[in-house]
Amino acid sequence: MATLKNIIPILMLFFPVATYSQKDVWTVPPEKAAKVNPLEIKPKNLTVGKNIFSRNCVACHGAKADGQGLIQSASFLTDTFQKQTDGAIFHKMVTGRNKMPPFGSVLKDDEVWSVINYLRVLVNPSVLPPPKDIRIELAASEETHSLTAFLTTADSVRVPLGEVDVHYYIKRDFGLMRFGEISNYTSEKGKVTVSFPDGIIGDDQGNVTVLARIENDFLYKNNESAVVLRWGSLLVTEDAKFNERTLWGSRSKSPVWLLILANGILAGVWGVILYILYNLFRIKKAGKIFIK
Amino acid sequence: MTDLYRKDEEIKKEQFQELLSDLTRPLNHTSLTFKIWTGFLLLLAAGAGFMYFRQVQQGLGTTNMRDIASWGLYVSNFVFLIAVSLVGSLITAILKLSNVRWATPLTRISEIIAVAALISALLIIVVDMGRPDRLWHIAVFGRLQSPIVWDIITVNTYLVLSLLLLYLPLIPDLARLGSFMSHKPAWQRKMYKILSLGWQGTGDQLKLLEKSVAVLMVIIIPVAFSIHTVTSWLFASTLRPGWDSTIFGPYFVAGAFMVGAAAVIVVMYLIRREYSYKQYLTDHHFDMIGKLLVLTSLVYLYFNLNEYMVPGYKMKSGESAHILGLFKGEFAIMFWLVQTVGLILPIILLVFKPFRKPRPLLIISLIIVVGAFLKRYLIVTPTLLHPFLPVQNYPESFAHYHPTFSELVITSGSFAIMALVVTVFIRFFPIIPICETAHEKGIDQETINNQ
């Protein structure tokens, strides 16, 4: 009897929890769940997956993929998640539910599969060899306004490295601006070329800093190379506007009319106050004369 | 019989003597009620002091002001106190300059209310600051283009003018006190002596004093208008629903005269009761200031009609959320209570003479004062909760504002400090002008001087 008495409240505790999670289950039709991932777990498509993840998923699922982004979403690190088939995850990503957007129209099938591969590697990094050092050189061509990155091994032999994704950036005041394609793979000669975009504003001499980066790669460590080019248009600052006397200007730039008006009123009122204080002084003096 | 033979001069002398002992009664007499009242105020002020200490230690997190409603009870209270302070200029300057005789016994009451409200307002606005230790930055870095700087300048200027207008007419009374209060401790007699500036009531002195008071009364009116107009511009010069209005200045000034008159009635009533001043603060005085209250309330009602009718008719998309929140949303109950019970009902009642008798008038005035406080709250906070620019990704709790216990204690403490200033003043200075009352009773300067 006593055990029954103990069990009932415990059961009652589980009841709402059970119904809750029941409602929350995201069922995938068996034929969809059975779909097979056509991609192997290879560094190249892992890089694609990681790039997509950091661009499209981090905001909600968090940088650690634990579901703690700007909103509460789902963790990819749990056993329950990882036990699902690739096909099931594919279906969920493509169709979406509630706040999880459907990515079917945004990502190609291969891209979805490569994200799934990346999610698998996240909890099981040992399937990959440790990343190696890489050397990167960046050269600019004045004629074609283009930039070429040259990737080789970091040792003295300098073997050109093909099939490596390079990301290009332009340095701005508050961060980096990406340009080129989302992925720019090197050729067998270890080279990849992108053209410099038009209409970039540089500093007051037209200088811009361009970066080429190896990042999010599973075979190589992060590395970058930078060049400064005079390819930007000149930066024109409107200092003259800032030096005008305006209502939004700084303390020393208040409009003249305001200075005259405000100080005029102040002088007038405080003049009267001073006059009254002076009268008080005269009253005091008049009293003294009377006593004498 | 004997009166016939006595010289007119002697009768006058006796009259003045009586007046003097009547009007200095509060200085000599401390009842139990007075002591309990003062103790109560000190307790409230101490509670507020403690809570403020905590607030300085832990930061403004002890309030419920957050990113969206960044102005709450404190700023509402500031606007309310500034409004109350305007009554000083209404009664002492405007009525006096228009030769309204019945206002004489009310001048000092209204002036000390003005000074006390200003002191309290200056305190509460420092309380609202997250970093009060940086107050001096306003002097060093403040921009003349900012209405906040104008506000600081005008409020302090008005405080100085109010103190002068309180002090100047007090000088002749102080001279009488110096000789009349011989049983008081030495420091107190010395204080009267220093403050009375060696007043002898000579022709020269009288002329100087009269001239100075006249100049003061004229200059204080535009300054009084400007302080509340500038306070209203703190709101009106920003682009927000409910504040984006061109009539905010006169709207605030009108409301200020109404609540100020009500505040004077409350203090008048308490003084009349505590010191049995039935013959100085007569039913006639209550009747007249009651009429003044109807007038100011009607003007304020007119402004309210403009302020809510016109935007309510247009329902501009950006403003409608705010207006509907007042008319039938989150703030509807408070809004309609303030408009009906706090404004329309008092006007209807006060039109009838029986309601302008002291006691009913007191109750109506108390309702008006509470309503006016809530009105300031309705002006400040709901607007902040409906910004024009959409806000997103903020915690649900930021969408509403309910003052914390700490805010409530500090706010009541600010009222206590205001009441304390008035109380202490009554304890040390004649609250009803002695010499001015004597003049109005026809007692000549010579009798006053020779007493």
pLDDT, position B451: 64
Residue B163: phi and psi, rounded to 5, are -60, -40
Q: Looking at residues A171-189, what average pLDDT do you find?
A: 91
Whether residues B143 and A266 touch (CB distance < 8 A) is answered with no
Tens of pLDDT, residue by residue over A104-158, are 888 999 999 999 999 998 888 887 888 889 999 999 999 999 999 999 999 889 9
Q: Which residue of A has its CA nearest to B194?
A: A284
Q: Does the pLDDT of residue A194 top 60, yes or no? A: yes
The alpha carbon torsion through B35, B37, B40, B46 (nearest 10 deg) reads -80
Average pLDDT over residues B62-74: 91
User: What percentage of chain A carries pLDDT values higher than 90?
Assistant: 54
Q: What is the average per-residue pLDDT within B15-33?
A: 86
Query: Per-residue pLDDT for B389 more than 80?
Result: no
Per-residue pLDDT, B13: 84
Which residues from chain A sit within 8 angstroms of residue B160, using beta carbons?
273
Contact B215 A286 (CB under 8 A): no
pLDDT attached to residue A7: 52
**A77: pLDDT strictly greater than 60:** yes
| Complete domains list, chain A, with CATH | 24-127 (1.10.760.10), 134-229 (2.60.40.1940)
Mean pLDDT to the nearest integer, B31-52:
95
Across B189-206, average pLDDT: 88
In this predicted structure, which of A168-177, A184-193, B386-395, B417-426 has the lowest mean pLDDT?
Answer: B386-395
Interface test with A, best of B141, B143, B233 (most A CBs within 10 A): B143
Q: Does domain B13-133+156-388+399-449 have CATH number 1.20.1630.10?
A: yes
Report pLDDT digits (tens) over B252-296.
999 999 999 999 999 999 999 988 899 899 999 999 999 999 999
- Give which of A247, A272, A274, A289 to mutate to test B binding, by max B Cβ within 10 Å: A272
Question: Residue B26's pLDDT is what?
Answer: 87
Considering only CB atoms, B212 lies closest to which of A248, A276, A291, namely: A276
E-assigned strand segments in B220-378: none
Instruction: State yes or no: pLDDT of A4 exceeds 60.
Output: no
Across the interface, whether the CB atoms of B144 and A287 are under 8 A apart is answered no
| Chain A residue set in contact with B, beta carbons under 8 Å | 70, 247-251, 254-255, 258-259, 262, 266, 269-270, 272-273, 275-276, 279-280, 282-284, 286-288, 290-291
CA atoms within 13 A on the CB side of B273: 11
Give the distance from residue B257's alpha carbon to the nearest chain A alpha carbon, in angstroms.
22
Rounded to an integer, the average pLDDT of A33-55 is 86
Per residue in B79-98, pLDDT (tens digit) is: 999 999 998 888 889 998 89
Return the pLDDT at A21: 44
Both structure tokens of B451 = 């007493």
Q: What is the mean pLDDT of residues B227-248?
A: 92
Residue B349: its pLDDT value, please? 95
d(CA B76, CA B128): 11
Mean pLDDT of chain B: 91
Question: Would you call A248 and B160 a contact, using CB atoms and an 8 Å cutoff?
Answer: no
SS3 for B338-353 is HHHHHHHHHHHHHCCH
8 Å CB contact between B444 and B13: no
Residue B74 banded pLDDT, cuts 50, 70, 90: very high
Residue A226 β-bridge partners:
A211
In chain B, what are the domain boundaries? 13-133+156-388+399-449
Q: How far is B286 from chain A (nearest CA, A)?
A: 33
State the pLDDT confidence band at A171, using cuts at 50, 70 and 90.
very high
The arithmetic mean of pLDDT across residues A258-267, rounded, is 94
A287 vs B141, B197, B215: nearest CB: B197
Q: Are B383 and B322 in contact (CB under 8 A)?
A: yes
B85: left (phi over 0), alpha (psi -120 to 50) or beta: alpha
Global pTM reads 0.72
Name chain B contacts of A286, Cβ cutoff 8 Å.
Answer: 200, 202, 204-205, 208
| Residue B197, CA distances (Å) to A281, B65, B178, B445 in order | 8, 48, 11, 18
Whether B56 has a pLDDT exceeding 80, the answer reads yes
Q: What's the confidence (pLDDT) of residue A11?
A: 45
> Tell me, what's the pLDDT at A289?
64
**Is B197–A283 a contact, with Cβ atoms under 8 angstroms apart?**
yes
Quote the pLDDT of residue B364: 96
Say what the pLDDT of residue A6 is. 54
Chain B residues within 8 Å of chain A (Cβ atoms): 141-145, 150, 153, 157, 160-161, 164, 168, 171, 197-200, 202, 204-205, 208-209, 211-212, 215-216, 219, 223, 393
Smallest CA–CA separation between B329 and chain A, in Å? Answer: 29
Mean pLDDT along residues A32-49: 86
